[in-house]
Structure 1
Amino acid sequence: MKKISFIVPLVLALAGCQLEEKQPEVASVTYPLYQSADYAFEGTATFEVNDADIALLIQLEGLKSTDPYFYTAHLHFGSFDEADASIAQVLNPIDSRTLQSRTVIGRLTNGSEIDFETLRNFDGHIKIHLADQGPDYDIILVSGNIGSNDTSLENFNTNKLALCSPSYPNY
């Protein structure tokens, strides 16, 4: 009987111990996106590296819509104030109902691959447009520098914001 009273607590103790599943390490860096038009939006762009993939998560803050509408988004080479900054990658559009999007960053338009360290030093910026064409394409809802560029609010000036061309290289 003494053996059973010893074994039962031991079995219960061992049953209570679960092997912890090792979670993959996720490296991330977040950049602010600033209001760039009369529309009250701002947000963040978070790059996450999980295994070999780099995902860009965009989260806006502002008025959500009940109707489906999608804001066009681009990752550009250069600073937000650089005229004719080339598009590095077309991003998945931001859903106006959730104000979110997620894009796995692949090969850039210049043919280069990007890893996390390159991304942290990337000379680039993000722009989110009201529309994908027409006059509303020139309305940039939010934008912000990433990587090696100055990402501070003190550096951000909508008067310096350069419009981008809707054309981009095929890749």
Structure 2
Amino acid sequence: MRKLIFGFVILLGFSACSESDPEELTNNKIEYQLFQSSDFNYSGTLEIVEMVNGGLEFNIKLVGAAGNEATSFPTHLHFGNYEQPEAVIAAVLQPVNSATLSSKTVLSELSDGTKLDFEKMKTFDGHVKIHLAADGPEYQVILASGNVGMNQTNAEGFDRSKIAVCGNSF
């Protein structure tokens, strides 16, 4: 049952994603830090840009060892902070490509049907996790993570030993 739900989450995430043109973006941006969250040396940033239509563009850029084009790292926006056990997935974001160490996702609605706009993003209770793999034991390996919205964490406040196991359901 969990695999069926996880498959649905992935399908929902890909259906919410598309490319955007620069003319579709406003000048409103928020940037969050993504911190190294395992023995793998990856960190980076999540930049959220407001779109003219009210949606949001999530741009992730990691710093670390690049891989090959065929490998990607599953990425999720979760409800709650990174310490929350079994944190529900709010949105499946485009996987981070291991060759470019980047991803771009256009998002306007969360898994619970909530519309997410730029102002709501500032007070959103959530976090982002980038996984090593989509399933199996490597799914539990978090390459990089960080709180977003009202939970924003700086480097001094981040403690990777407190990262909780991810939930795969809504």
TM class by shorter chain equals 0.7 to 0.9
Percent identity of paired positions between Structure 1 and Structure 2: 39
Per the alignment, residue 123 of structure 1 pairs with 125
Q: 1:76 aligns with which of 50, 56, 78?
A: 78
Q: Distance in 2 between matches of 1:150 and 1:23?
A: 26
Greater Rg, structure 1 or structure 2?
1
Equivalent position of 2:94 in the other structure: 92
Question: Structure 1 residue runs of 4+, over 6 Å off?
Answer: none
Q: Which runs of 5+ in 1 are unaligned?
A: 1-21
**TM (normalized to structure 2)?**
0.82
Tell me the residue number matched to 1:43. Answer: 44
Whole-angstrom CA distance in 2 between matches of 1:161 and 1:25: 33
5+ residue gaps in structure 2? 1-22
3-state secondary structure, aligned to 2:94: strand
CA-CA distance at 1:106 after TM superposition: 2.7
Q: Distance in 1 between matches of 2:25 and 2:93?
A: 25
Identify which of structures 1 and 2 has the higher relative contact order when contacts are C-alpha pairs closer than 8 Å and 6+ apart.
Answer: 2
Counterpart contact for 2:34–2:43, Cα < 8 Å: yes
Q: Counterpart in 2 of 1:3?
A: none
Q: Which residue of 2 aligns with 1:27?
A: 28
Please state whether the residue corresponding to 1:88 is helix, strand or coil: strand
1:23/1:86 CA distance change after superposition, 3 Å: closer
How many residue pairs match? The answer is 147
- Matched with 1:156 is 158
